[in-house]
Chain A
Amino acid sequence: MSTEIVLNAPRGHYRIKHVARSEMAKIITLRSSAIALGLTFAACLLVTGLVSHSALHHDPGYYSGFDPTSESLTGMITVALAGGVMGALLITSEYSSGTIRSTLAAAPKRPLLLATKVGVTSVLMVVFCEVLSFASFFLGQAILSGGGAPSASLASSGSARAVVMTGLFIALIALMSFGFGLIFRSTAAAIAAFVGVIFVLPLVMHGISESDVHYLPTNILINSIMSTVNQGPGGPFAPVSPTVGLVLMTVYAAVALAVGAVLFVRRDA
């Protein structure tokens, strides 16, 4: 009865590095990951290209208060959409396919598993969003300066800050969406929650409380993070400074992840 097979298992036990390798392999082995990242890249640069191009050749009056940095980051809105969808899918696809059962079989310590998943998602999203943010900025500035419109460089006031923060902010949006995925487990529900918060809530809030609109992720992103002009407490559109805005977004993402984590650890898989 006690003749259990002796296996030549390595010493110790599975750790974060094993789970992280496993999670990375899962992402890499799905062709849809590469397709999604590629399409997002193309869509972002296309939007930035079109927007920057349409800002060329206007009357001088058009350019008063013109923010070339913000203009060149417009394409990042598509990244916010794609990042939100990808963030949710990274967890909900495991539930819809049943993969989560295999995942938990290999790494049953749920807090460790989830921390690793959040870590891998964070690194992936931060790298991807930062790369795109810089690419979008340089493409936009090239078009603007090439067409003789006012343009900016990373040395311009607030530009480097805007580019770096836009990437971080959108990565945080993706993480918030990952949190929704943990909470709802269904792809449709998680994406509905994400689209609701990012794209619908700003419209609805306008009708409810004009002053609170500024604290929504979308408004912070456009008015405080991407912008180098209308920012700071004194600014007409943004009572939220970029730093406060980034902190607020971190809190939103952390709350979604925390609720999701509690449910993930407690619920039957």
Chain B
Amino acid sequence: MITTHSLTKRYGAATAVDNLTFEVPSGVVTGFLGPNGSGKSTTMRMIVGLDLPDSGSALIGGKHYAELDWPLREVGALLDAKAFHPARSARNHLRWLALGNDIPRVRVDEVLDQVGLTSVANRRVGKFSLGMTQRLGIAAALLGDPGVLLFDEPVNGLDPEGIRWVRHFLRDLAKEGRTVLVSSHLISEMSLTADRLVVIGRGRLIAETSVADFVARSGDGAVRLVTPDQVAFTAVISAAGATVEDEGRSLTVEGLTSSQIGELGVQNGLRIYELTPITASLEDAFMELTQDEVEYRPSTMPGAFAVGEKG
């Protein structure tokens, strides 16, 4: 389990991480979600002791990272992708890491196989594609078979097949009882991978909740109704105390469930072609919550959310 308490990091006048307190339990995938520059990477770097917090603490199983007996056997971290010398082979990179924590040499070939890099194990890392580099980073994180795993934007640079692989893989790791924290600025990715969410914006905690709750919080139970009897239906629904919005080819009803609307239709002899409950997407929920927290936003596209490379 990872716990942060009032974690704060400043760079000069800018506060990158602001009084951040959250918990990452074991056995589930916790998504760490926030716009670019919201402090996700800085937080993860503080958890593994690369950056020192100005105040507060980040603990793994109650210990600072630097106090761990065998760090690589307890925590595996994939941070900013590049953590290798380009002239060293993938196998040699993992070998020196393994030596540092007395990890048996067989693990090197095991994890290379696990991430699918066996055939290029002796190639210089500098020749690797972004996706292969990412796989090597994942292999390094798995090397010590750790119970706690941190992945910062793990699907960056991976092809669709690789993305699917990471998704399943993270869930499998969590199913084995491990603590998995995975950051992303891609909401769609989180909705497929994570069970829990820690959402931050501008370094501050916005939400710490399950994915379902997060979506429900924003989804207000509206129903879309397509009917040829729009005028009559609008009058009936309004009479029932609900609100109706005319969307042109459909009506959006708030305040009644689909079954209630269906009953109204039958009672009043009105035709229903389509009746769809509208659930807000994770993206909608996220946009709503982080509207004021996005740091970098083109002025011409208010509310736009960056996709693609991380900043």
Q: Is the CB of B49 within 8 A of A104?
A: yes
A30 and B80 CA atoms in complex are apart in Å by 23
Per DSSP, chain B at the interface is loop
Judge if A206 is at the interface, Cβ distance under 8 Å. Answer: no
Cβ of A109: which chain B residues have Cβ within 8 Å of it? 66
**Cβ-defined contact, B85 with A99, below 8 A:** yes
B177/A29 in contact, CB under 8 A: no
Nearest Cβ on chain B to A246's Cβ, whole angstroms:
34
Q: Report the minimal beta-carbon distance from A23 to chain B, rounded to whole angstroms.
A: 8
A155: interface (CB < 8 Å): no
> Which B residues are in CB contact (< 8 Å) with A57?
none
Query: How distant is the Cα of A10 from the Cα of B104 in the complex, in angstroms?
Result: 11
User: Once the chains are docked, how many angstroms separate the CA of A205 from the CA of B49?
Assistant: 43
Query: Is residue B214 within 8 Å, beta carbon to beta carbon, of the partner chain?
Result: no
- 9-residue interface stretch from A14-22, A58-66, A78-86: A14-22
Asked whether B177 lies within 8 Å of A9 as measured between CB atoms, the reply is: no
| Chain A residues positioned under 8 Å from B69 (CB to CB) | 9, 12-14
List residues 50-69 of chain B with CB under 8 A from any CB of chain A. Answer: 50-52, 61, 65-66, 68-69
Scoring A1, A31, A93, A94 by chain B CB atoms within 10 A of each residue's CB, the highest score goes to A1
Q: Is the CB of B87 within 8 A of A22?
A: no
Interface residues of B in 146-175 (CB under 8 A from A): 146-148
- Verify A7–B147 contact, CB threshold 8 A: yes
* Interface size, chain A (Cβ < 8 Å): 41
Q: A1-B25, A97-B82, A108-B68 are in contact. Are A10 and B100 (CB under 8 A)?
A: no
A208 at the A/B interface (Cβ < 8 Å)?
Answer: no
In the assembled complex, the CB of A111 is this many whole angstroms from the nearest CB of chain B, namely: 10
A residues whose Cβ falls under 8 Å from a Cβ of B: 1-7, 9-10, 12-14, 18-19, 21-23, 25-26, 29-32, 93-94, 97-99, 101-110, 266, 268-269
* Given A3-B26, A5-B147, 11 more pairs with CB closer than 8 A: A18-B102, A22-B96, A22-B99, A31-B87, A97-B84, A102-B93, A105-B75, A105-B97, A108-B68, A108-B71, A109-B66
Q: Which 4 A-B pairs have the closest CB atoms?
A: A22-B100, A13-B69, A106-B100, A5-B147
Chain B: residues with CB nearer than 8 A to chain A?
Answer: 1, 25-27, 45, 48-52, 61, 65-66, 68-75, 77, 79-80, 82-89, 92-93, 95-97, 99-102, 140, 144-148, 176-179
Q: Could you list 16 A-B pairs, sorted by A, with CB under 8 Å?
A: A1-B1, A1-B27, A7-B145, A9-B74, A14-B100, A22-B97, A22-B99, A26-B85, A29-B96, A98-B83, A101-B79, A102-B97, A102-B140, A104-B49, A108-B65, A108-B71
